Amino acid sequence: MKGMSRWTIWPTMAALGLLSGCGYVAETPSAERPDEEAYVRVSPRDHRYFELSNGSPYIPIGLNIAFPRFLYDEDAVLNQMETRLQNLSANGGNYIQIWMGHPFYDVEHSRSGRYDSIKVRRIDAVLALARKYGVRVKMTFEHFRTLSESPPLYAGDAPLGKPIHHVTNGGPAKDMSEFFTLPGSKNRFKRKLAWFAKRYSEEPAVFAWQLWSGIDRTEGLGWEEWTAGMLEYAHQQFPNHMAVQSLGAIDVYRRLLLFRPVWRLPANDFIQVRRYLDEGANLEICKGPMDVMLADAVQSGLSADAAKPVVIDESGAVEPDHSTPSKLYERDRLGTILHDVLFTPFFTGAAGAGQIWHWNVYVERNDLWRHFRRFADVVDGIDPPLEGFQPSMLPHGRMRVYVLRGTKTVLIWCRDSQAGWREELTEMGVPAVKGATLDFNTLDGGPPRGAVRLYNPWTGEWTEGRLTGGKLELPDFFRSYVVRVDS
């Protein structure tokens, strides 16, 4: 199919072996626990998806709100966070990530191994807000990349170094390799996990504990073995929660050789894949249509054959080599990039919506919260582990047609192949898709049966549809359209 990547039809999940067991799935019975008190876990019914520990379905819909940017007053930051969570929740969202190593949250800021009980109240406050608005939080312990005797480098206002861990400042290591390999250094990090466990091991607002953001980008060796041991220890400390490791963006395919062993670790509960629109990337696919780029990223995660959920944990658009957020954001007032980030992963086999990174300069500045509602409306009432969705594609001359076929529901996302970011945001003037017809007679399993509803994710409007002879006529639309068939 024109414009697609290396593949056009996904193999079935059964063929990939993704319905077999995986490690560290919480099996504690809690059928009587209400949703707000239940924990998120990998579903024992279908390990490609999540659910709550009471058996309710859970599809993560959200974004990264990792840290406050250039705002330092505690009350102002927490008020800002409440506004963001309120906007997200009001639009069907239920997930965020925070970086606990950022100065605003960092309890270990004055000396290695010393924890600030005053700073921790900020984390308490965010989790209280999360509970208030029905949002789960992925808690990321660290993100720094280097140790040195001098003050750290910064990306924006997020420090990329942590001098307190250097031996000259009372720390356990003289560089990152020693930080990951010396027994004393590893034990100190374990004490940090244990300290957090005393406060939060029974906190249902925690989605998962993430050891590090992009650990492969650190200036050291030994992080692979460190990751394996630390994930196992995290499960001992947080028996109610998932634990996971995070790796950098896949902008060269050789990284898959590095990432797959980490993805397959039994204690790594789900697979996280990152990819950004980056015209400076080595991979051409990172420069093309967002949906094609992200569909390929999901396939990279599924190809690990690890019987785990796959999540796009970071995406968006950047200037070459991740130098700054993309200038395209200034033009993308309608949220075409965000739309693709949200919809593509789930419709190609991921466990939830994709998670955009640029929460402030893009989502917030352009007031794009409504897009989370549009995705939430499409999946409303759906139980993915019960459905056992099989992703595929339906050939079409004008559109890339993504299909999820389940036991009770068929979801179809039609993406106009002529309305990519380049046409929409640089060349402009993409015509509407007119007179399009979907022929389900070529679909594996034949035409779906049931009530047909059509959804325009750009207006939020539902209408009724009808299959005639296994074919469905679509109304005229711009960019994308959704079809849902419920038996």
**Burial class of 323 by CB neighbour count within 10 A (0 to 12, 13 to 18, 19+):** exposed
Same fold, 13-382 and 391-486: no
Mean pLDDT across 314-321: 95
Report domain extents, the chain. Answer: 13-382, 391-486
Sign of CA dihedral 313, 319, 320, 321: negative
Res 22 pLDDT > 90: no
Top-confidence residue, 444 or 195 = 195
Could you tell me the fold of the domain covering 391-486?
Immunoglobulin-like (2.60.40)
Rounded Cα gap, residues 191 and 197, in angstroms: 10
- Residue 118: the pLDDT is 87
DSSP class of residue 119 equals T
- Contact criterion met (CB below 8 Å) for 344 and 355: no
Q: Report the distance separating Cα 485 and Cα 482, nearest Å.
A: 10
Question: CB of 456 within 8 A of CB of 41?
Answer: no
Tokens 């998670």 correspond to what residue? 355
Q: What pTM was computed for the model?
A: 0.92
The rounded percent of the chain whose pLDDT value lies above 90 is 86
- 418 — alpha (psi -120 to 50), left (phi > 0) or beta? alpha
**SS3 assignment, position 275:** strand
Name which residue leads in pLDDT, 276 or 6.
276
**Mean of per-residue pLDDT scores for the chain:** 92
3-state secondary structure of 40: strand
Tell me the three state secondary structure of residue 241: coil
pLDDT reported for residue 248 = 95
Whole-number percent of the chain with pLDDT over 70:
92
Question: What pLDDT was estimated at residue 148?
Answer: 78
286-295, 338-347, 426-435: the lowest-pLDDT one: 426-435
What DSSP assignment string belongs to 135-153?
A: -EEEEEEE---B--SSPPP
Beta strand 95-99 pairing with 62-64: parallel
**Residue pLDDT, tens place only, 167-184:** 999 999 999 999 999 999
* Residue whose tokens read 């919480």: 26
Tens digit of each residue's pLDDT (9 = 90 or more) over 236-284:
999 999 999 999 999 988 888 899 999 999 999 999 999 999 999 999 9
May I ask the CATH architecture of the domain 13-382? Answer: Alpha-Beta Barrel (3.20)
Binning pLDDT at 50, 70 and 90, where does residue 13 land?
A: very low
Q: Which pLDDT belongs to residue 28?
A: 44
Token duo for residue 210: 């993430």
Closest by Cα among 71, 75, 46 to 58:
46
Give the type of residue at 449: R
Radius of gyration of the chain (CA): 22
Residue 441 has pLDDT above 70, yes or no: yes
pLDDT at 146 over 70: yes
Render pLDDT for 320-376 as a digit per residue (tens, 0 to 9): 988 899 999 999 999 999 999 999 999 999 999 999 999 999 999 999 999 999 999
Predicted pLDDT at 159: 77
Contact between 92 and 61 (Cβ < 8 Å): yes
Which pLDDT band, with edges at 50, 70 and 90, does 150 fall under? low
Among the residues of 264-350, which ranges form H helices?
290-302, 336-347
Residues in the chain: 487
